Amino acid sequence: MYFVKLLAECLPDALKDSALVLPVLLPVYFLIEWVEYKKYANLEKSPLLCGRLSPLVGSVFGSIPQCGFSVAATDLFAKGSLSAGALVAVYIATSDEAVPIMLSKPGRIPEMLLLIAVKLLLGVIAGYLTLLVCPKRPAVKHAEHEEEHDAHGSVGCCKHEIEGGEKFDWKHPLVHCIKIFLYIFVVNLVMNLVIAGVGEDRIADFLGQSKWLQPLLAAVVGFIPNCASSVILTELYLLGGLSFGAAVAGLSVNAGLGLMVLYKENKNVSENVLITAIVAVVGLAAGYVINLFA
């Protein structure tokens, strides 16, 4: 009975949190499909997505408070249309629920702007660091896209060889968006159940340790792939239970569901581990440096 009650409480929140990514994912997937259909640009060679400017572009877009951007960026990376540096920049710059929460408290807006600026700078630094340590790679072919090649004449990375009268394949981005949405929904539901079962008060107590342990503990909570983790970190910081450095550490590794989608979509496990490690190291280092000098 307890589990059924918990499930009934968590199901609406999981559905709502998952639905928040749709306004970003659906237009992005349709735009990519349209660009490839019209052959307006070669996404794998775009200087803004894969070139030297990509970490800067990724950090700027990551600063937009919408969890769908980290998922969309992950999908672009898995298809070979986004550099690893840009992906890491998106992950670190994104703040999920932190910006809306702080924006609702006018007296804390200066702190919100400082948080955004710090994370944007960290995203750029980490992005360029990633470009140095991550080898360039060719576009990745996924099994589902290879199957579509047999059925529709498409080639790697969802590109389509368009013949004279072939119509725009509107079903492909729609189906892909639905698949990602269902995956996100399942993960959100599981994470909501875990957080509800453990209790937010216990998580807050876990974070309320000594100043020097806080960045590490905040990073542990930040890696929870759910909007609730960024809410807990932000609220605890605003209540004075978390230092600014710890908040930066926790929110810098809080890539939302981006990392979960990365391990699902990108089959290069060592690459995924390296990206995760860079995000963790940069977030922790920033948290401890800020605590040291703040």
Cα distance between residue 127 and residue 88, in whole Å: 6
**What is the DSSP-derived secondary structure letter of residue 214?**
H
Mean pLDDT in residue range 247-276: 89
At 35-48, the pLDDT tens digits run: 655 554 455 556 66
pLDDT at 168 over 90: no
pLDDT at 265 over 50: yes
User: Predicted confidence band at 269 (pLDDT cuts at 50, 70, 90)?
Assistant: very high
pLDDT attached to residue 25: 67
Cα distance between residue 278 and residue 92, in whole Å: 10
Q: What is the tally of helices (H) and strands (E) in the chain?
A: 15, 2
**What is the DSSP-derived secondary structure letter of residue 243?**
-
pTM confidence score? 0.72
pLDDT attached to residue 262: 92
At 6-55, the pLDDT tens digits run: 778 778 887 887 777 777 667 766 766 666 555 544 555 566 677 888 99
At 183-216, the pLDDT tens digits run: 778 877 877 787 777 676 777 676 766 678 889 9
User: Predicted confidence band at 165 (pLDDT cuts at 50, 70, 90)?
Assistant: very low
The alpha helices in 94-243, defined as continuous H runs, are: 98-103, 109-133, 143-152, 171-198, 200-207, 214-222, 227-238
Q: Which residue has the higher pLDDT, 252 or 67?
A: 252
Mean pLDDT in residue range 235-253: 89
The closest of 117, 118, 57, 45 to 88, measured between CA atoms, is: 57
Cα distance between residue 42 and residue 155, in whole Å: 13
Percent of the chain with pLDDT over 70: 73
pLDDT attached to residue 114: 94
pLDDT attached to residue 143: 42
**Residue 236, exposed/middle/buried by CB under 10 A (0-12, 13-18, 19+)?**
buried
Match 């590490």 to its residue by tokens: 216
Structure tokens at 137: 């790679």
